[in-house]
Amino acid sequence: MKHIYKENKKGAPVFILLHGTGGTETDLISLAELLNPEYNILGIRGNVQENGMNRYFKRHGEGKYDWEDLEFRGNELYEFIVEKSKEHDFKLEDTVLVGFSNGSNIAIQMMLKQPDIFKKAALFAPLYPADVENKQDFSDVEVFLSLGKGDPIVPESESNRVIRLFNERSADVTTAWVNGHSLTQEVAMEAKNWLN
């Protein structure tokens, strides 16, 4: 998978950056540097194409996931992160998932499948349109959720479903609301305060 690894400080935690539809591995670097300039960075490009745009998994339309592909791609991405953790000598427990939109969605998938691994995530404009039966234990997970009022892609009911998904698993949840499907400077600062 195309990616970028940037070491800022030996032994510091690692941001795993997951872009939105049409993005690349460098999209969220300025956000990561704002959140904490000392953290190391692993930016990964989604390897699924939709009308020439990079994504992390296939879908059948807006909000209609190809669940089989999401399962496959989530495992593939997780294995890639494991491989990079060995190569660059960092612990998976010391990572912070940072996603926007499509990147947030695959981050949720990985957290649900690997509940013992990912302990911290800042997810902007997430959508996970399914109720998950299995009640993973997220009592030692901290998550920052940035959600949109009047978001044309994610209805507010779906934003609330994402909040519920984490609350029902006892995660420590911090929420912030923005207008639309966006990642604003204000909400980036709120995420920074949450992280530090």
Q: What is the DSSP string of 57-72?
A: S-EEETTEE-HHHHHH
C-alpha–C-alpha distance, residues 78 and 55, integer Å: 15
So what's the pLDDT on residue 124?
Answer: 98
157 annotated active-site: no
Q: Is the pLDDT of residue 118 over 90?
A: yes
Query: pLDDT by residue (tens digit) across 130-183?
Result: 989 889 999 999 999 999 999 999 999 999 999 999 999 999 999 999 999 999
Please report, rounded to a whole number, the percentage of residues in the chain having pLDDT higher than 90. 96
Q: How confident is the model at residue 86 (pLDDT cuts 50, 70, 90)?
A: very high
So what's the pLDDT on residue 133?
Answer: 87
The runs of H, that is alpha helices, within 36-173 are 67-87, 102-113, 156-167
Active site residue: 19, 85, 104, 151, which one?
151
User: Which domains are seen in the chain, by residue range?
Assistant: 3-195 (3.40.50.1820)
So what's the pLDDT on residue 62?
Answer: 87
Residue pair 178/146 in contact (Cβ under 8 Å)? The answer is: yes
Q: Is the pLDDT of residue 186 over 90?
A: yes
89 annotated active-site: no
What mean pLDDT do residues 76-103 have? 97
Q: Is the pLDDT of residue 93 over 90?
A: yes
101 annotated active-site: yes
Active site residue: 85, 101, 104, 159, which one?
101
Four-residue CA torsion sign, 136, 138, 144, 147: positive
* Strand 120-124 to 142-149 pairing: parallel
Query: pLDDT by residue (tens digit) across 13-45?
Result: 999 999 999 999 999 999 999 999 999 999 999
